[in-house]
Structure 1
Amino acid sequence: MTTVYYTHLDAPVGPLLLTADPDGALTSLSVPGQKGGRGVRDDWRADPGPFRAAAEQLAAYFAGERTEFRLPLRASGTEFRRAVWAALDEVPYGTTVTYGEIAARIGASRVAVRAVGGAIGANPLLILRPCHRVIGANGTLTGYAGGLERKLRLLTLEGALPAGTPGQPGRGAALRAR
């Protein structure tokens, strides 16, 4: 059995649970209440060591000082899901795309938009793989496994939504390991 390492980080969008494989590649980043999110299992090993770079980069992201992540990621999924996730990786900071645009980027037909949405919803690496940047065709914030409030906060942080939206977080909030 392969060892799964994990750690918790406190972030401006709530507590984060990160997991990594023995090689140090991140396998998931999830939040409490996340649809399909992970929970700590008894056979996992708590160890913040493999997550130092991720903690530093996430802290810089939440402080508005980092716009992309340079971390080893290893999430398992079907070929279709991996294609969708690779398309997510190409969505620039501070921008949004629609589910239809992601479908087009991977060469899928408009009929496949629902399947694309399912693959985006199954993304095990929230924030790091920016599924929060995908919006509905009519510009609405639709679906986010971490909850629409988090999606709104992330898009506001990135400047993809108007600054000063009431009740939205400012930049510079600290990220703390726990």
Structure 2
Amino acid sequence: MLLTEVPDSVPPPDWLRPLIERVQNHLRGNHEDFIDAPYEWSLATDFQRRVYEAALLTKSGFTATYGDLAKAIDEGPGVSRAVGTALGQNPWPLLVPCHRFVGANGKMTGFSAPGGINTKLQLLAIEGNQMFNV
């Protein structure tokens, strides 16, 4: 569909097709994790990479706070804001599940992907997260 609607678009390379199928499968509600996706880690700082790798361990259907993620990478709670900033700069949204992270006390906070918090809520609902069902 995209190839017919977007001028000059080209088919994805063969090596990317299995990942596209997994993403489509995930969005249909068949929960996938993308821990083994071919990330180009040179796009991230060392701190961001630590955040993203830890975020990949949060399973579909669950949420955690930015503070929880800071603890998971052996940083103190004062680093929660930096963790949120790193997630906001995530070059692989959905694959690195930044939508699974919320503010302190479960407060729904911003989401940098198109659609903002509404998109975040929809992704959480697709993943079966009852706490934030839309």
Classify the TM-score, shorter chain: 0.7 to 0.9
- Counterpart of 2:104 (choices 134, 137, 148) is 137
**CA–CA distance in 2 between the matches of 1:111 and 1:140?**
17
**CA–CA distance in 2 between the matches of 1:48 and 1:58?**
14
Question: Structure 2: which amino acid aligns with 1:74?
Answer: E
TM-score (norm 2): 0.82
Q: Given that residues 57 and 66 in structure 1 are in contact (C-alpha distance below 8 angstroms), is that contact kept between their aligned partners in structure 2?
A: no
Which residue is equivalent to 1:118? 85
Structure 2 alignment gaps of length 5 or more: 4-8
Which residue is equivalent to 2:118? 149
**Number of equivalenced pairs:** 123
TM-score (norm 1): 0.63
Which residue is equivalent to 1:91? 58
Query: If each structure's strand is expressed as a fraction of its own residues, which one has the higher value?
Result: 1
Deviation at 1:138, TM superposition (A): 1.8
Q: Given that residues 91 and 133 in structure 1 are in contact (C-alpha distance below 8 angstroms), is that contact kept between their aligned partners in structure 2?
A: yes
Question: Structure 2: which amino acid aligns with 1:55?
Answer: I
**CA–CA distance in 1 between the matches of 2:33 and 2:48?**
21
Q: For 1:119, what is the secondary structure of its paired residue?
A: helix
**CA–CA distance in 1 between the matches of 2:51 and 2:23?**
23
Structure 1 alignment gaps of length 5 or more: 1-7, 10-44, 169-178
- Identical columns (%): 37
RMSD across aligned positions (CA): 2.1
- Counterpart of 1:67 (choices 32, 37, 42) is 32
Deviation at 1:86, TM superposition (A): 0.7
Structure 1 outlier segments of 4+, above 3 Å: none
Q: Given that residues 53 and 71 in structure 1 are in contact (C-alpha distance below 8 angstroms), is that contact kept between their aligned partners in structure 2?
A: no
